[in-house]
Amino acid sequence: MAVRTLSIPDEVDAAYTRHNPTNPSRAMATQLQRFAVYSPGDRELIIPPEVIKELERLAQRTFATADSLLVFLKMLLTVDVEGIELTLTPGQKARMKQRADFFKRPFNDFAKAEIKEALVGRLGG
């Protein structure tokens, strides 16, 4: 195990002391370990716990990992047509869902038919 000496601002030290009053160094080491896979220049999105809780409430499911959130968002925003994944805007998907409901057809079947029809109109049969 490597031992390093770091200088950190007092406010940062105070924050880690609040997280783990008995061993703030352990809290810092845990946080550093969690983010060790990211380069300092990488873009990392940190979602506060209250936002995650609201997302889970809206989605009516839990998101244990970033991958589980990504899978859910892809499900909401994409349609798979014979192995080709198409990303729709939320508005496009909502309108297509309204039309599928109006015609009393399952969304996936309706979406595939609509997209195929649009492609035939654009590219020919």
Task: Give the mean pLDDT per block of 10 residues along the chain (125 residues).
Answer: 87 92 91 88 88 94 93 82 81 90 91 85 80
pTM above 0.85, yes or no: no
Kind plus residue range of the DSSP H or E element containing 99: helix 90-102
The structure tokens listed for 10 are: 């007092």
Listed in sequence order, the residues at least 6 apart from 28 whose beta carbon sits closer than 8 Å to its beta carbon are 16
Listed in sequence order, the residues at least 6 apart from 76 whose beta carbon sits closer than 8 Å to its beta carbon are 90, 93
**Listed residue (67, 70, 88) closest to 79, CA to CA:** 88
